Amino acid sequence: MNAPGALIFSAFPLLAVELDANHAPLVLAGVLLSLVVIYFASKVGGELSGMLDFPPVLGELIAGVAIGASALHLLVFPENGAIAADSVIMTVLQWIEPLTPAAAASIFQSEGEVISVLAEIGVIILLFEIGLESDVKELQKVGYQATIVACVGVAVPFAAGTAGLMYLFNVPAIPAIFAGAALTATSIGITSKVLSEIGQLKSKEGQIIVGAAVIDDILGIIVLAVVASLAKTGEIDILNVVYLIVSATAFLVGSILLGNVFNKSFIAVSNLLKTRGNLIIPAFIFAFFMAFIGNAIHLEAILGAFAAGLVLEETDERKELDEQVKPIADMLVPIFFISVGAKVDLGVLNPFLPENRVGLTIATFLILVAIVGKVVTGWAVFGQPGINRWAIGIGMIPRGEVGLVFAAIGAASGALDKSLQAAIIIMVILTTFLAPPFLRIAFGSAQASPEQAPDVVP
Amino acid sequence: MNAPGALIFSAFPLLAVELDANHAPLVLAGVLLSLVVIYFASKVGGELSGMLDFPPVLGELIAGVAIGASALHLLVFPENGAIAADSVIMTVLQWIEPLTPAAAASIFQSEGEVISVLAEIGVIILLFEIGLESDVKELQKVGYQATIVACVGVAVPFAAGTAGLMYLFNVPAIPAIFAGAALTATSIGITSKVLSEIGQLKSKEGQIIVGAAVIDDILGIIVLAVVASLAKTGEIDILNVVYLIVSATAFLVGSILLGNVFNKSFIAVSNLLKTRGNLIIPAFIFAFFMAFIGNAIHLEAILGAFAAGLVLEETDERKELDEQVKPIADMLVPIFFISVGAKVDLGVLNPFLPENRVGLTIATFLILVAIVGKVVTGWAVFGQPGINRWAIGIGMIPRGEVGLVFAAIGAASGALDKSLQAAIIIMVILTTFLAPPFLRIAFGSAQASPEQAPDVVP
């Protein structure tokens, strides 16, 4: 597929190296400027979103769209087909030091790669933090109701989304499965914040929603690992799917079981260390190693990081570790959310262009499935007469972080084309916008005094 | 210089892009595995060093040498002429997924670039932290004695080192100036730790040493910015040197003066923000922007980061900010120290190879100048009869962090060849090893009870 490129690299490997080494200070300058832009956008977006009572992550995502390929071109990536001349940051670098087109292309390429890897490390840290803040013991108590709601909330949107895309719109199997999978996740952060605001976090409905959202995250990460692995091989055969589901589940459950043994020695080692970073560095050695293993066995790096977080969640040092991970997450996670937004080109869904009609219809279909597929989960609850089924269903609607992780990994693997990717981003934005007001209505508008929300990410 | 490479890139930019995008998961796998190796080495080295009562940074540096180009080849970099087959990590990736030589070269290149930029962000954070922990007001009180000791301690090793290299060894001007400049820095961390252990931190000698070491850091960073800029243009003309010294000094002093106005609005903005990272993200926007400016005006990124730290040091939130920067520094700074060690090939100083004799003689010369040039500073103190001049001189000997920053930037700019680079690393290691025992002897061996050491970096 890239044989000519490969030949060129093997013929002149040293030239390519020299070219890059020579421009190393400008790559750094480009990365620094990109980070300034990313952080500025993330704060403006996050704060505006917070003021309007929406979750900050939504504002960060929209800020990413605003500075990215859809609008301002402050942050564009070569992997999405942009060239150096498209990038405002490269234009600034050209003012500082005039560059040949080839040098500019090489710097743009390196800078984009560095920001992409920083974003990937950001999502690894995010999933590590989510794992660290999940309470495995609490989860075991949530009971059947939440588990059933979670399973229905994964199965219905996945099946309806995938089948609809394949049979109504003739989308090939792999992208259809990927887009269907992106409909499965539920954002615990958004829902639990709204529930606490209207004083329903400790209600029966609230407990079921929060429990189901946590289980949903775990199921979603397993589904993602399986689907991403299918996308890599490009083949769907039942044996492979079964193998992947079993291995992803075994990896996660096995890590947690082994972790109960391991976390005592982790603390013992950390207590022995006397130099700075005695807690965070061993934790990162573990998390990055697990992420590497997740990647190496053809699942996903984030699955490993999430498992590592679940294991360390069980230790006595969890709280202190969480304190130290927070600033690191604050630094790296926005790079991920902003990049996801920036990589999407919403122009592909511009309704004024006739060639976009199919893409728009698909986007509308995905959004409908995303909403209906979660609302039905309310009727999966059994043996609870008088329970507010609408509230449970609506509480499961917002997609948030994990939906974005799907869109990012789908785009990076090449499984999702531009319009499917844009459709998923719009789906995440809309479900997140719609859920809070609807949830208030379903619970009969704002009541009671706000309770303490659990730690919300991010 | 790289015209053929440039032509290739401009002829097939998209192919090069495709090649990289395709292997993105393996680049991430390589980066994760490199980080695991780096963190593991940094903890083993740092802890062993701490146990033997040496500063952890020394152990990290030696661990870097052990896993790098000199020995284990776990961490090697394409910019130093290594190819994918030299890298143990690339060999591991090949087990996971067989790669064509071209794909392996491309992944190795990207992975090395990402780790290098992470190391550069690490040193930016390190200098930001050093700035944040320097007390500008305290510095103004240290007085003439410390300033004179610092100036002599910069001027003598710089002049003797540069002149000696040029006239005794016929080294060209630019590398000679760079190596001379690398002799100027004094490590405050190492010295103040030893002083506090022997109960001499608050003595007259201790105060002069610590004050001079802080001023030395500032002078050293200005010298580095000037020298690195000279190395970029390759020309030494007096007007340019004067311009660089003035602009570097003006940049630093100007930032501090402006900062007294700016830091109030910084705190006001930070207090307005309600979302996570309300303190650290504005601080990083400022630090990275200053680093970018430092880079853009052809000085150094670290000069900007250091100035940003000095400015924010004056705010009321300094302590909280410092708390949050610490885990981030713990995560990123070891990447810098380990990389510096790993990039050095000590093999070029192997005494059993006759062609290394010149390099060895130069290394010996640099080490002698490094020691003698600092010991003489004791005799720069005036009007203090009975002061322990030997103790002051010896206290100024260890080089530590800033010396390593010189070696790294000199190597990256191409100004330092492999044997000069190795000589500087050996100089840093030896001066750091020798100073603590000699300082104890100069003060008449261990006395009194240990005092509280100031925050030691790292």
> Is A387 exposed, middle or buried, given 0-12, 13-18 or 19+ CB atoms closer than 10 A?
middle
Chain A residues near residue B113 by CB distance under 8 angstroms? 20, 27, 110, 113-114
Q: How far is B71 from chain A (nearest CA, A)?
A: 22
The average pLDDT across A188-200 equals 73
- Mean pLDDT, rounded, for A395-410: 80
pLDDT value at A22 more than 70 = no
pLDDT band (50, 70, 90) for residue A208: confident
Give SS3 for B173.
helix
Mind telling me how many Å the CA of B379 is from chain A's nearest CA? 36
pLDDT in tens, A74-91: 999 887 778 888 899 999
Give the CA distances from residue B19 to residues A8, B16, B26, B110, in Å, rounded to whole numbers and listed in that order: 11, 5, 12, 11
User: In chain B, which stretches have pLDDT less than 50?
Assistant: 1-21, 445-458
* Mean pLDDT, residues A206-221: 81
pLDDT tops 70 at residue A141: no
pLDDT at res. A4: 39
Mark residue B451 as left, alpha or beta (left: phi above 0; alpha: psi -120 to 50; beta: remaining).
beta
Per-residue pLDDT reduced to its tens digit, B272-320? 888 888 899 999 999 999 999 988 877 778 888 988 988 888 777 888 9
Q: Which two tokens stand for residue B180?
A: 């001379």
Peptide bond into A450 cis (omega under 30): no
Which pLDDT score, from 0 to 100, does residue A355 have?
80
State the Cα angle at B88 between B84 and B93, rounded to 5°: 75
Q: Cβ–Cβ of B412/A24 closer than 8 Å?
A: yes
Residue owning tokens 């010396």: B403
C-alpha B215/C-alpha B185 separation (Å) is 10
Check residue A188 and give its pLDDT. Answer: 67
User: In sequence order, which residues have a C-beta less than 8 Å from that of residue A214 and are 6 or more positions away?
Assistant: A134, A139, A142, A146, A188
* Domain residue ranges of chain A, discontinuous segments joined by +: 22-116, 122-442
Distance separating alpha carbons of residues B333 and B305, to the nearest angstrom: 14
| Average pLDDT rounded to a whole number, residues A52-76 | 88
A322 near B CB under 8 A: no
Confidence band, pLDDT 50/70/90 cuts, at residue A36: very high
> Does the domain formed by B134-442 have CATH 3.50.50.60?
no
Contact A113 B116 (CB under 8 A): no
| Residue B361: other Cβ atoms inside 10 A | 13
Over range A404-421, report the average pLDDT. 81
Alpha-carbon distances of A15 from A9, A30, B15, B292, B324, rounded to whole Å: 9, 22, 16, 27, 42
Burial class (CB in 10 A: 0-12, 13-18, 19+), B414: middle
Task: Tally Cβ neighbours within 10 Å of residue B274.
Answer: 11
* pLDDT for residue B167: 94
What pLDDT is attached to residue A263? 79
Tell me the chain A residues in contact with residue B233 when contact means C-beta distances shorter than 8 Å: none
**Whether pLDDT at A29 is above 80:** yes
Per residue in A37-48, pLDDT (tens digit) is 999 999 999 999
First to last CA, chain A: 40
* pLDDT higher than 60, residue A7: no
**pLDDT recorded at residue A64:** 93
Considering only residues 66 to 125 of chain A, which have any Cβ-Cβ distance to chain B shorter than 8 Å?
78-79, 81, 83, 96, 100-103, 105-106, 109-110, 113-114, 116-117, 120-121, 124
Q: Which of residues 115-174 of B touch A (CB under 8 A)?
A: 116-117, 120-121, 124
Q: What is the ipTM of this complex?
A: 0.84
CB B343 within 8 A of CB B62: no
Amino acid B267: pLDDT: 83
What is the per-residue pLDDT for A387? 86
Residue of B nearest to A456 (CA): B276
Q: Which CATH number fits domain A122-442: 1.20.1530.20, 1.10.340.70, 1.10.287.3510, 1.10.10.10?
A: 1.20.1530.20
More confident residue, A436 or A183: A183
- Residue B4 has a pLDDT of 39
Chain B residues in contact with A324 by the CB 8 A cut-off are 327, 330
pLDDT attached to residue A201:
75
Q: How confident is the model at residue A20 (pLDDT cuts 50, 70, 90)?
A: very low
Average pLDDT over residues A382-398: 86
Please state the rounded mean pLDDT for residues A15-38.
Answer: 74
Look at residue A280 and tell me whether its pLDDT is greater than 90: yes
When pLDDT is cut at 50, 70 and 90, the band that residue A457 belongs to is very low
Chain A contact for B441 (CB, 8 A cutoff): no
**Which pLDDT belongs to residue A454?**
42
Q: Enter the pTM of the model.
A: 0.85
pLDDT of residue B13: 38
* Inter-chain contacts counted by CB atoms under 8 A, chains A and B: 260
Kindly state the average pLDDT of the residues A161-174.
92
